Structure 1
């Protein structure tokens, strides 16, 4: 089994309910099992600031799906939740980002692992650190070393 971490985010409709329902959808992915889910966090938008606040979380999965197959499954879940990719960093019903897949480095046109900005965003680091406080981000080092750099980003435990 491989360990994968998936970030979840939503800011349209009832985002907290959406994230909880998405945890359930992840539990139904083929060849995969949800091991742990983080708490939910309320966060300020990044990029486009004139939009509702987000609810974010992270799930830890065990999976035998290859990274690209897992990405395809995640995109399918987003579509089932009504995700429309209208603008980068815009409002969304559900966003699922594959953050890490074991300690693999992947650099493909549609998938980069580790996620290239995970170490810069409190809405990813905080829930990820909740699940795996001793995690080493491949190529970046210990997750705990990155938390102080994002401490000024607004994030509130729900």
Structure 2
């Protein structure tokens, strides 16, 4: 079974349990590192998640996955926070984090660059608008390869 199909099936199966716990399902990854497979589930809530949240979700979804058995090989289940530099994937993510510092990479150069760090101004049908050092830049959705929050030190 393809990795993307596994991620879709797992996401669909576990979303109700995560919603029921009043948590946000940020992302699901299924990756091979070294000789091991990992199913990583990233959750969040306002104010952040703690170890108890991760443990409770892990126990709930472990039961669901045991019953569904969507993954043919052995894997490690990891449930965690997306971290300070959480990915921005859904339109709701971009709306929620307007005004925050973000880092976006593009598939092809936009205004001569493929990497942008700036204040998230807006998310529209045309693209993602950033303020990068006082200059507004519009990044078309089809050009965006990855988006995440950025941390200033």
Bigger radius of gyration among the two:
2
Q: TM-score range by the shorter chain?
A: 0.3 to 0.5
Higher strand proportion (structure 1 or 2): 2
| Higher RCO by CA contacts (8 Å cutoff, separation 6 or greater) | 1
* TM-score (normalizing by structure 1): 0.38
TM-score (norm 2): 0.39
